[in-house]
Amino acid sequence: MAGPPRRLARSPQVGGHEVRDLELRGVHGAGMPASKRRVPVSQPGMTDPHQLFDDTSSAQSRGYGAQRAPGGLGYPTASASPQSAFLGDPVSNMAMAYGSSLAAQGKELVDKNIDRFIPVTKLKYYFAVDTMYVGKKLGLLFFPYLHQDWEVQYQQDTPVAPRFDVNAPDLYIPAMAFITYVLVAGLALGTQDRFSPDLLGLQASSALAWLTLEVLAILLSLYLVTVNTDLTTIDLVAFLGYKYVGMIGGVLMGLLFGKVVYYLVLGWCCVSIFVFMIRTLRLKILAEAAAEGIPVRGARNQLRMYLTMAVAAAQPLLMYWLTFHLVR
Amino acid sequence: MAFTLYSLLQAALLCVNAIAVLHEERFLKNIGWGTDQGIGGFEEEPGIKSQLMNLIRSVRTVMRVPLIIVNSIAIILLLLFG
């Protein structure tokens, strides 16, 4: 059966483009021309800030187009020659066509319904990162003292994608840091002979529960203080997820060099995260006047300042609480 | 404290139950948190107390029926699985 594997062979893909390419692949089954779903761009080299990911379709479209042109009408005519050799009778062709159209309809239904509960398109914005952004952001998380301008650049009312502005929040670093934290916790427990596989799940669940609790507490206090901010829930999750980077650093250093180094590195990361959160949240929570550096008096601004300080102070506490039992 | 997501769910259920059993006449009115005592003027700044009263009132209105369902499910699960 050399047919199916060859038909499902994938052209080489770079990591960040997989989401879009899967979309294009789904379009294939529905019979729509592929050009409708492609993001319009002038040249492959230029990336305008409107699109989140680089468009490599011009490089891959030749490969796709050759496969798609016969496939546009449906599976019976799209069967490549190796398949038609052993699927000669039209009944199985019809059955395959019917099955594939059912699958395509099901996929469209699922996509439509999922988009109602989880805003997939909004989530894609948070994963539009590149290596330079990740490097700069990690540097900012460990050393935020020299960075001057913390404003997020806007472009026609929507914030610019993270790859173009180092101040924009992203979900890639928090997600990766969370997973790495769970793995490092397993490693730390293993070096102390306390490891068992269900402990990994327990660590992950515990960290996730703390994160959820934090998000709910901050949302509640934002509601009570009636702050009109554009701080969305996903933004908040992103900001609160940045502390995992410091936690990983502390635990790894503690594993390598001992408890004193763990405390030193954790202390450094705690202070850095504290400064980072204050400088980031100040622009989001406090009023515009305070963002320019002028301390505005008044009960409301004072409450907001306390709220920012409380959120920032909770980060070092949680960083210590979630890691101190890992380094003995 | 928050060891697992499940314990967080349990804690949340207990908190919402606690808000739902606050008696309107005997308790909330006596401490001045009744639903008809809070909606004062329409100034620009609601203040924490009125926000809290609003929150309590909306939780009690919205979560009455779902709480019955969720509590029944929790009771059945606890009876079956301990």
Euclidean distance between CA atoms A135 and A269, whole angstroms: 16
Is the residue at B57 inside a domain? yes
How many angstroms separate the CA atoms of A41 and A149, rounded? Answer: 30
Q: Would the pLDDT of A314 be above 80? A: yes
Instruction: Give residue A37's pLDDT.
Output: 42
List the 16-35 stretch of B: residues with Cβ below 8 A of A.
none
pLDDT 10s digits, A17-70: 444 444 444 444 444 444 444 444 444 444 455 566 766 666 544 444 444 444
With respect to residue B43, please indicate whether it lies within any of the assigned structural domains.
no
**Closest chain A CA to residue B48:** A224
What pLDDT, on the 0 to 100 scale, is given for residue A2? 47
Q: What's the pLDDT at A123?
A: 83
Distance of CA A91 to the CA centre of its chain: 45
- Is A317 in CB contact (< 8 Å) with chain B? no
- Between helices A243-257 and A259-285, what is the axis angle to 10°? 170
Burial B51-79 (b: 16+ CB within 10 A, else e): bbbbebbebbeeeeeebeebeeeeeeeee
Would you call B80 an interface residue with chain A, using a CB distance cutoff of 8 Å?
no
For B48-80, the pLDDT digits (tens) are: 788 888 888 888 889 889 999 999 999 999 999
Q: Is B15 on the interface with A (CB under 8 A)?
A: no
Question: 3-class SS at A155?
Answer: strand
Q: Taking CB atoms and an 8 Å limit, are B3 and A209 in contact across chains?
A: yes
Whether B16 is covered by a domain: the verdict is no
Average pLDDT over residues A258-271: 93
Cross-chain residue pair A226–B46, CB shorter than 8 Å: yes
Residue B68 lies in a domain: yes
pTM higher than the cut 0.80: no
What is residue A14's three-state secondary structure? coil
Bridge partners for A158 per DSSP: A155
Q: Is residue A16 scored above 70 in pLDDT?
A: no
Cα separation, A245 vs A53, whole angstroms: 25
Q: Which residues of chain B neighbour A212 with C-beta distances below 8 Å?
A: 5, 8
Beta carbons of A212 and B5 less than 8 Å apart = yes
DSSP letters for A95-107: HHHHHHHHHHHHH
Per the DSSP assignment, residues forming a β-bridge with A7 are: none
* DSSP-based three-state secondary structure for A154: strand
DSSP assignment of chain B equals ---SHHHHHHHHHHHHHHHHT--IIIIITTTT--TTTS-----S---HHHHHHHHHHHHHHHSHHHHHHHHHHHHHHHHHH-
In a domain, B61, yes or no: yes
The number of distinct structural domains making up chain B is 1
Per the domain annotation, does B76 fall within a domain? yes
Mean pLDDT of chain A: 76
Q: What is the pLDDT of residues A120-148, one digit of tens each?
A: 777 888 888 889 999 999 999 999 888 88
Interface check A205 vs B, CB under 8 A: yes
**Residue A166 has what DSSP assignment?**
T
Is B58 within a domain?
yes
- Nearest Cα of chain A lies from the Cα of B37 at a distance, in angstroms, of 18
Domain that holds residue B71: 48-81
Shortest distance, CA B3 to any CA of chain A (angstroms): 5
If one compares A82 and A38, the residue with the highest pLDDT of the two is A82
In a domain, B23, yes or no: no
CB contact under 8 A, B4 and A213: no
Position A158 scores a pLDDT of: 76
In angstroms, the Cα distances linking A105 to A22, A39, A99 are 15, 23, 10
- Range list of H helices, chain A: 3-7, 18-30, 57-71, 75-78, 81-86, 90-117, 120-126, 131-142, 172-191, 197-224, 233-241, 243-257, 259-285, 288-291, 299-323
Question: Residue A158: enclosing H or E segment and its boundaries?
Answer: strand A158-159
Residue A300, burial from CB neighbour count under 10 angstroms (0-12, 13-18, 19+): middle
